[in-house]
Chain A
Amino acid sequence: MNRRVALQALLLLLVAGVFVAAFLNARANLEARNMPTSFAFLWQTAGFGMNQSVIPYTPLDSYGRALLAGALNTLIVSVVASALATLVGFAVGFSRLSSHWGLSRLAALYVETLRNIPLLLHLLFWYIVLLTPLPAPEHSLSLGGVLLNNRGLYFPFPGLGWPLFDPARNAFNVEGGLRLAPEAAAMILGLTFYTASYIAEILRAGVQAVPRGQIEAASALGLSAAQTRRLVVLPQALRVALPPLISQYLALTKNSSLAAFIGFADLMQVSGTILNQTGAALQTLGVDMALYLGLSMLTLALMRRFERGSEWGAR
Chain B
Amino acid sequence: MSDFLRAEFLSPLPPPPARGKSWREKLFGDARATAITLGLLVAAGLLLPPAVRYLFIDAVWTAPDGALCRAPGAGACWAYVAAKLPFFIYGAYPQPWRVNTAFLLALVLIVWLLRPRAKYKNYALGGFFIGLPVVGFILLHGAPALGLPVVGTNLWGGALVSLIMALAGMTAALPGGVALALGRRSKLPALRWLCVGTIEFVRGAPLIAVLFMANVLLPLFLPPDWAPDRLLRPLFGIALFASAYMAEVVRGGLAAVPLGQSEAAAALGFSRWQGLRLIVLPQALGAVVPGIVNNFVALFKDTTLVAIVGLFDFLHAIETARLDPAWAGPQIALTGYIFAAAFYLGFCLAMSSYARALEGRLAEARR
Contacts and interface: CB of A to CB of B under 8 A. Distances in A.
A234 interface: no
Interface residues of A, number: 53
A181 interface: no
A94 to B, nearest CB: 12
Nearest to A30: B220
Name the residue among A100, A101, A112 with the largest chain B CB count within 10 angstroms. Answer: A100
Contact of B308 (A8, A101, A260): A260
Contact of B194 (A4, A11, A32): A11
A261 B308 contact: yes
B205 interface: yes
B102 to A, nearest CB: 23
B208 A12 contact: no
Contact of A121 (B189, B194, B308, B344): B344
Contacts of B219: 29
Given A11-B190, A288-B209, A121 B337 contact: yes
Contacts of A161: none
Interface string A284-296: 0100110011001
Q: How large is the interface on B (under 10, 10 to 19, 20 to 34, 35 or more residues)?
A: 35 or more
Contact of A254 (B205, B301, B308): B205
Nearest to A120: B304
A102 interface: yes
A159 B223 CA distance: 55
A243 interface: no
A83 interface: no
B11 to A, nearest CB: 28
B37 A25 contact: no
A136 interface: no
A239 B331 CA distance: 46
Interface of B: 26-27, 32-33, 36-37, 40, 187-191, 194, 201, 203-209, 212-213, 216-217, 219-224, 297, 301-302, 304-305, 307-308, 315, 319, 330, 333-334, 337, 340-341, 344-345, 348-349, 352
A285 B213 contact: yes
A112 B349 contact: yes
A116 B297 contact: yes
B221 to A, nearest CB: 4
B337 A124 contact: yes
Given A116-B352, A121-B304, A293 B205 contact: yes
Interface in A167-194: none
B220 A118 contact: no
A12 B40 contact: no
B212 A272 contact: yes
A29 B40 CA distance: 63
Contacts of B301: 116-119
A281 B216 contact: yes
Contacts of B33: 99-100
B121 to A, nearest CB: 28
A146 interface: no
A292 B305 contact: no
Interface string A52-70: 0000000000000000000
Nearest to B40: A102
A102 B188 contact: no
Contact of B220 (A25, A103, A254): A25
Given A113-B345, A296-B204, A22 B221 contact: yes
B21 to A, nearest CB: 9
Nearest to A194: B301
Contacts of B345: 113, 116-117
Contact of B305 (A21, A112, A116, A258): A258
29 contacts: A4-B187, A8-B188, A11-B191, A12-B190, A29-B219, A100-B27, A100-B36, A102-B37, A117-B341, A117-B344, A119-B301, A120-B304, A128-B334, A129-B334, A254-B206, A257-B208, A268-B209, A275-B212, A275-B216, A281-B216, A281-B217, A282-B220, A285-B209, A285-B212, A285-B217, A292-B205, A292-B209, A293-B204, A297-B204
